Structure 1
Amino acid sequence: MAEEDRLSEPDVLNEAGSWKKEGRKVALATVVETWGSSPRPVGSQLAVDESGRMVGSVSGGCIEGAVVHEARQIMEGAPPKLLSFGVSDEQAWEVGLACGGKVSVFVEALG
């Protein structure tokens, strides 16, 4: 990742921490594995609060909807979850991951 790209990215963890301090429920999604063509590198993060406010990205938009759906479930008490999306996965086409790669995203609630 180029230095200028890192500098322009939001500070997801600080923003999520601020939301948590304000008393909001918060979930954090982190790209933990990629293969082939993937829109975001390993380590990319997306924070979501209970109202649907988001900061960061795990896919550049193509799977965010599915990740946010799972994040909301986890904020309500579901266990943390590892999500996998790829072109051979029917759900990948449904959520728009047609880039030809695979991405795995771990979603957890911040305690």
Structure 2
Amino acid sequence: MLDRNEDILKAAEDWHRGGHGVALATVVETWGSAPRPVGSNLVINDEGTFLGSVSGGCVEGAVVTEALDVISSGQPKMLEFGVADETAWNVGLSCGGTIRVFVEKVG
């Protein structure tokens, strides 16, 4: 498992050079009890393969789904998950905090 941001960004570069569409998700803000710190990354390719973490596993599935849309549309997205957000409960962010994740296409 690659867990250093340098390794994650290297994987993104390798996938992009290999002809894959790639998106990078980055934690840009946290409030309260957040599972991962600001600057944490998740990289996703157009096949749905991903490396890294933006939430310790609790919202990665939702971020991957949104990232696939970003790859196809080219339009970045700002995502927010928190306990007050019904979507966050659905995907499992029950830690009491809120995270904001920016998803952008690589390349």
Q: Which runs of 5+ in 1 are unaligned?
A: 1-7
Which protein shows a greater Rg? 1
CA RMSD, Structure 1 to Structure 2 (Å): 1.1
Normalised TM-score (structure 1):
0.90
Q: How many residues align?
A: 104
What residue in structure 1 maps to residue 82 of structure 2? Answer: 86
Normalised TM-score (structure 2):
0.93
Letter of the aligned partner of 1:74 in structure 2?
V
What residue in structure 2 maps to residue 22 of structure 1? Answer: 18
CA drift at 1:78: 4.7
Runs of 4+ in 1 over 2 A off after TM superposition: none
Between the aligned residues of both structures, percent identity stands at 58
**Quick one: which of 39, 42, 48 aligns to 1:43?**
39
CA drift at 1:77: 1.1
**Quick one: which of 93, 98, 106 aligns to 2:94?**
98
Give the 3-state SS of the residue equivalent to 1:34 in structure 2: strand
Letter of the aligned partner of 1:17 in structure 2?
E
CA drift at 1:9: 2.1
Whole-Å separation in 1 of the counterparts to 2:3 and 2:66 = 23
CA drift at 1:79: 1.2
Give the 3-state SS of the residue equivalent to 1:76 in structure 2: helix
What residue in structure 2 maps to residue 9 of structure 1? Answer: 3
Whole-Å separation in 2 of the counterparts to 1:38 and 1:44 = 11
Q: Which runs of 5+ in 2 are unaligned?
A: none
